[in-house]
Amino acid sequence: MGTETPGLRELKKQQTRESIADAALDLTLEKGLENVTIEEIAKVAFVSPRTVSNYFLCKEEAIVAAGTQPSKTLLGEFEERPAGEHPLLSLRALLSDFVVGHSPEELELSLRKMDLSLQYPSLRPFETARFDELEESLRDAIATRTGTSVTTDLYPWLAAAAAIAAVKSAMQIWAAATTSTLGLRQLIEEAFDQFSAGLPAPPNTPATD
């Protein structure tokens, strides 16, 4: 009897994780967070409640994980970009391309997740944790690319924080959909462009003495 390769095991784990997260999100959208249990999530995902708890601390963490790209996927693509390319240019390209790779239905689901976060504050710490995890990974990758140190140099910290701020700001404007007609990709690109330009003040900013 053959044994599974590490790659196959990791793939199965990722598929199980995605199945649980998708079940948690679907049930919450259907019934409301307060009416969803771990047992129901397990039933929909065709796993045991113990398996759900092995993958996620609680239902809130599972909901936030639904539809998200693993950090290592983005980091792998970052490492494949030209070595001499400015880190923010690399991230601008990767993140805008990531949006293009999503269907309208997937983007609509992202909007609904953001609405859930407004409705249920208990989801927000897990959203913050996911962004923090991505920022830390980007910080390390940027330090490696630029030959800097996360211990002694500001650059990898500032560059990673700028990238996360660009994405979060673009998503908030896009989700509001009242002050901008731009799509999410355009907003992400504009955010990075403003950082690259030194974040100049808008043209109509009142002059100061």
* 161-176 pLDDT per residue, tens: 999 999 999 988 888 8
For residue 206 the two structure tokens come to: 């009142």
pLDDT tens by residue, 44-81: 999 999 999 999 999 999 999 998 876 777 888 899 99
Q: What is the pTM of this model?
A: 0.82
Most distant CA pair in the chain: distance in Å?
80
Residue 178 pLDDT grade (very low, low, confident, very high; cuts 50, 70, 90): low
Q: Do domains 6-63 and 68-196 have the same CATH topology?
A: no
How far is CA 184 from each of CA 31, 110, 138, rounded to the nearest angstrom?
28, 11, 21
The answer on pLDDT for 6 being more than 70 is: no
- What's the confidence (pLDDT) of residue 20? 98
CATH 2.60.110.10 fits 68-196, yes or no: no
Domain limits, the chain? 6-63, 68-196
Residue 209 pLDDT grade (very low, low, confident, very high; cuts 50, 70, 90): low
Concatenating the DSSP letter of every residue in 41-103 gives HHHHHTS-HHHHHHH-SSHHHHHHHTTPPPHHHHHHHHHHS-TTS-HHHHHHHHHHHHHHTS-
Instruction: Please classify residue 3 by burial: count the beta carbons closer than 10 Å to its beta carbon, then call 0-12 exposed, 13-18 middle and 19+ buried.
Output: exposed
In this structure, are residues 18 and 46 in contact, taking their beta carbons and an 8 Å threshold?
no
CATH top-level class for 6-63? mainly alpha
Quick check: helix, strand or coil at residue 23? helix
Query: DSSP letter at 101?
Result: T
